[in-house]
Chains A and B, each alone.
Chain A
């Protein structure tokens, strides 16, 4: 099956700092999503981005499908950004495969 690797596995930031999270995948994909899992366990949709660049406030994402990676940028981080960030890819037409996540802690 497809391999989905995220880096770094853990990240600690000072409030106000910027960061880049990376998702590498081992095969061509049809779709890619980024999620934020909050401390209560819910997965919040951030981006649905099979290719190109999207921005939503302080967050933006870029997927370069031909090179099999996606990046999530967080600018001016806030303590509420803490949690685990997952990317998930779909390539078979019937399910998404999740990466192992990046655990982000933003300290005030």
Chain B
């Protein structure tokens, strides 16, 4: 069992649906991240939260909406997505924003 858990592991949604991805870390870390990995591409950082405050938003479209209610939980709310948003979404955490990263198992999203 990893210190960072993501649910659901697989998600299929239509373009008009609203869904959420959940991430929980049990490592006592203060920073949490969402990354997107499309096929054959490197990881792209989407959002960074440090002590529940968003510190980075790498020009992510507003159809992706993050939420960090506390240092242990991170959500990614999805609405009116496009087929090109289909990807593996990875959550990570670290003790602080320049510390060692630990990843969850990922949520594989397919948008029809």
Contact = CB atoms under 8 A, between A and B. Distances in A.
Chain A interface size, as a band, is: 20 to 34
Contact of B103 (A30, A43, A94, A95): A43
Interface stretch (A51-59, A69-77, A96-104): A96-104
Contact of A96 (B90, B101, B104, B105): B101
Interface in B66-101: 88, 90, 92, 97-101
Contacts, number: 54
A95 B100 contact: no
Contacts of B21: none
B58 to A, nearest CB: 9
A43 B90 contact: yes
A99 B99 CA distance: 18
Nearest to B45: A95
A35 B56 CA distance: 23
B16 interface: no
A99 B42 contact: yes
Interface in A65-108: 86, 88, 90, 93-96, 98-101
A94 B56 contact: yes
B106 A93 contact: no
Q: Give the one of A33, A41, A100 with max B CB within 10 A.
A: A41
Ranked nearest first, the 8 interchain pairs of A and B with the lowest CB-CB distance are: A43-B103, A94-B97, A41-B106, A98-B43, A48-B100, A42-B105, A98-B42, A100-B42
Interface of B: 2, 33, 37, 41-43, 45, 48, 50, 55-56, 88, 90, 92, 97-106, 108
Interface of A: 30-31, 33, 35, 40-43, 45, 48, 86, 88, 90, 93-96, 98-101
